[in-house]
Amino acid sequence: MKAFIFDPLWDDLVTEDLLSKIKDSGLEITVTKDIAPLTECKELFEGEEERLLCLNPDYVSWKLPSSDYKNIPNLKAILIASTGFEWVEQDVANERNIPICQIVNFSTQAVAEWAIMMMFNLARQTPRLIKDNYPLDFDKDFMKYRGVQLKGKTAGIIGLGHIGSAIAEACKGVGMNVIYWSRSSTNDAYEKVSLEELMSNADVIFPTTAKNAETLALITDEHIKSMKKSAILVDIAHGLFNQEKILDMVTKGDLFGYGFEGEPSQFTKLDGNVWAVPAYAWTTSESMHNSVVLWTDNMVSATKSEFPTRVNKGAK
């Protein structure tokens, strides 16, 4: 079996141990680092050997249409180096029973620490200080840019999965009270409350649920309006609520701060105590190593016709 790996970072992240593991499985790998259309890799579309399509999503700009892989012969599986899989068009894979496999829980701690970092910076109004070039008029600026102390405040976690649990643990370590809402998870270390109670009572709110059809309608405008004026919203889930309303509330002083992952130019363009920087939450040495470990595990499993992290329909 052959594995065609498309990843600009492969040589920087793969280790000798992982390469040995791949070799011992009998898998033959072909690595493409320079970004180009998949169709330019002629070997991928030639021959009769069973093959795996292994993709770093950045290689294809987080978009894999079915037309890009439908003509690959004897395609055994599509193995992606990400947790999100909505960027892979699934119709042809489903019709042909081609597994699409993700990697999971490789950056839990990194993302949780990023969320905590945003909380600390918003609590001390760091975004406003940066945008205003650190003014220091002793007569007025200490009042204008004063922050809030987090010890003793209440953190509200929406969704107590892997990342939500890591955030809850960190907040408790800071000395915060932790409440949470979850459809299914339970943790006796924290107080479980209704979503309405969490939104109206928490001082720092962390939506951490996965984005899907159910959660898209989870946080309503009414929930948003119920937040304290002194509250901070730290968003790592993306797209679960009316962001324009949140930004307007921060601008008007109806919400103390808001943090999220945005486009590179947004930080200085958004008014008020808004932390908006690109998607670096997962990028630690540890999480990037974890991602390659889990990715190669999926490659080795595929040689045995095992697909433990399959996300599309069909026999697992």
pLDDT digits (tens, 9 = 90+) for 34-87: 999 999 999 999 999 999 999 999 999 999 999 999 999 999 999 999 988 989
35 contacts 84 by C-beta, under 8 angstroms: no
Mean pLDDT for the stretch of residues 240-247: 91
Rounded to two decimals, the pTM is 0.88
Walk me through the domains of the chain, giving residue ranges and CATH numbers: 2-106+285-303 (3.40.50.720), 108-277 (3.40.50.720)
Mean pLDDT for the stretch of residues 99-118: 96
What pLDDT does 178 receive? Answer: 98
Q: What share of the chain is helix, strand, coil (3-state, %, to 5)?
A: 40, 15, 45
What pLDDT does 209 receive? Answer: 86
DSSP state of 138: T
Tell me the three state secondary structure of residue 187: coil
What pLDDT does 217 receive? Answer: 73
Q: pLDDT averaged over the chain? A: 93
> Buried (b) or exposed (e) across 221-232, using 16+ Cβ within 10 A?
eebbeebbeebb
